[in-house]
Chain A
Amino acid sequence: MGLALAAPLLLMAITSLKSQSGISFSEGWTLSHYGEVLGRASYRSLFLRSVLISGAVTLVTVALAYPMAYFVAFHARRKFIWLVALTIPFWTSYLLRVFAWKIILGFNGVINSGLMRLHLIDQPLEFLLYNPFAVVVTLAHAWAAFAILPIYVSLEKIDRSLLEAASDLGDSRFRRFLRVTLPLSMPGVIGAAILIFVPTTGDFVTPQLVGGTKGTMIANIIEVQFNAVGNWPLGAALSLVSMAMVGVIASLFVAAARAATRAAR
């Protein structure tokens, strides 16, 4: 299976090095596409924006999901029912969920028409849609389950007697959370963060539907290269670069988080 994965990636690397003229691949290898990818300012800013948006999505999703996971792990009586209830929204098509947000946030959408009906606002709110804000909100919703479950699992695994010991040794509940619960749940949080950050960088559906021009991400450009423009090598180069970047950022993040957890002890 690992081989099945390596081959396409290798192929992509190869394709990205080829040059292209017209509709078919021409002879010769070239790094010109990489030059284009790394050289063009518009691509660079796009990369940056994608990373920032993905980072924001990860942060928001995890931050929102953590209290929820905490609640189910520590305070919920019928945990299974809560978990099922939390996962049911994801039994719908991803496309439709994104689209639902488009409807809700839109100019004539649910929020705006509802608020206007209630005479709370006169003009529709414009900041809701077609910008990074919309992308973040939509993806925070879409990835919620991916965040809740890993965090929940690692919270659930914490030995309750550790918490009792901390209290016994004088920690207030808040301190105990900071010193015991949070560090011990870090593996789950890190796992969730990676699980969210990486796919987000490759998502073009959400940016396309709700991101507008201000919210375009790198994946949109890649998709365009493959379908509309037909410049496969360039698309391949873009993909590899973005993947490498994501990989580096993710590894740095994991290493940093581990070091921070160790230092905090």
Chain B
Amino acid sequence: MKNRALFSYALAYLAFLYVPVLVLPVFSFNNSEFIAFPLSGFTTRWYGALAGDTAMQHALGNSLKVGLVTALLSTLLGLTAAKAVTHYRLRGAGAALGFISLPLFIPDIVLGISLLLLLGASGLPLSLAAVVLGHMLVCVPFALTVLIARFEGFDRNLEEASADLGEDGWMTFWRVTLPLMLPGIVASLLLTFITSFDEFLVAYFLSGTEATLPIYIWGQLRFPERLPMVLALGAIILTASVGLVVLAEYIRNLGVKKPMVGA
């Protein structure tokens, strides 16, 4: 029947998606430098090697820093823009949104290069700060999409009701607007962080001497003997990301139904 064929296809497609990803953990425990079957026994030495790799840890630190700053700034910008667009019904809103979303449609390499040129011309150094700026260009559209969707589902009456019941502007924001926007804000932070963390092309051009994690990985790919370590790193990143998403979901569903008298 149609359903069964479609279902089998769905499973097959899912397998297609997951198999390459599963290669990472599988071979990260493989006791051989060659990534091939047959497997040669279980080992954790590649993970151990990671612990001693200071260059990698430095790059990881850089990526975390860049990711966090990018996430915060992009979400902040996205918030103000989303609020402006939905609340004040500005006339140029559609055009402005299109413009802001433009980076999504420009190949990363073009983005990276043009920013590189811009920095060169203005005399600003290539650095992690430059990477943050570049990432923001890419991440703000994502943040905007999430936040605008959230804003539009927001009943304006709720803020009026709060005012009607005696709360001034600031308290209304604190007691009604913010709690209801929180899931959207968290989602935006998460999305922008992960986008920035994983971003390679723009960082490649803009980071100068400091490496982010993807740049570090790129450098390692040339050396076959370091491959299993890289796979171990990838496996860790995967687990951490999944864990983060699960945690975020959990937190999101926590604050919803508890009675908080006087909140």
The reply, when asked whether chain A contacts chain B directly with Cβ atoms under 8 A, is yes
Please name the residue on chain A nearest to B221 by beta carbon: A99
Tell me the bound Cα distance from A92 to B245 in angstroms: 13
Interface of A is mostly: helix
Interface of B is mostly: helix
Q: How far is the CB of A51 from chain B (nearest CB, A)?
A: 13
Task: Please count the residue pairs between chain A and chain B whose beta carbons lie under 8 angstroms apart in the complex.
Answer: 184
> A2 to B117, Cβ gap below 8 A?
no
Q: Does A252 reach chain B (CB closer than 8 Å)?
A: no
> A96 to B113, Cβ gap below 8 A?
no
Q: Does A216 reach chain B (CB closer than 8 Å)?
A: no
> A243 to B37, Cβ gap below 8 A?
no
Tell me the bound Cα distance from A35 to B13 in angstroms: 45
Q: Does A201 reach chain B (CB closer than 8 Å)?
A: yes
Contacts of A86 in B (CB 8 A): 14, 17
Interface residues of A in 213-265 (CB under 8 A from B): 219, 222-223, 226, 232, 235-236, 239, 242-243, 246, 250
Q: How large is the interface on B (under 10, 10 to 19, 20 to 34, 35 or more residues)?
A: 35 or more
Interface residues of A in 84-107 (CB under 8 A from B): 84-86, 88-89, 91-97, 99-101, 103-104, 106
Contacts of B34 in A (CB 8 A): 108
Given A100-B20, A108-B34, A141-B17 in contact, is the A70-B110 Cβ separation under 8 Å? no
Q: Does B49 reach chain A (CB closer than 8 Å)?
A: no
Tell me the bound Cα distance from A42 to B116 in angstroms: 26
> B35 to A239, Cβ gap below 8 A?
no
Given A5-B99, A97-B20, A103-B35 in contact, is the A12-B241 Cβ separation under 8 Å? no
Tell me the bound Cα distance from A85 to B242 in angstroms: 10
Please name the residue on chain A nearest to B99 by beta carbon: A2
Q: Does A180 reach chain B (CB closer than 8 Å)?
A: no
Given A202-B109, A235-B113 in contact, is the A89-B21 Cβ separation under 8 Å? yes
Given A8-B115, A222-B109, A222-B113 in contact, is the A88-B234 Cβ separation under 8 Å? no
> Which A residues contact B (CB, under 8 angstroms)?
1-2, 4-5, 7-9, 11-12, 15, 64, 67-68, 70-72, 75-76, 82, 84-86, 88-89, 91-97, 99-101, 103-104, 106, 108-110, 112-114, 117, 141, 144, 173, 194-195, 198-205, 209, 219, 222-223, 226, 232, 235-236, 239, 242-243, 246, 250
Further 17 A-B residue pairs, CB within 8 A, beyond A88-B242, A108-B36: A1-B140, A8-B115, A64-B13, A68-B13, A75-B7, A84-B245, A88-B21, A95-B217, A96-B217, A96-B231, A100-B234, A104-B20, A113-B36, A141-B17, A195-B104, A226-B205, A239-B114
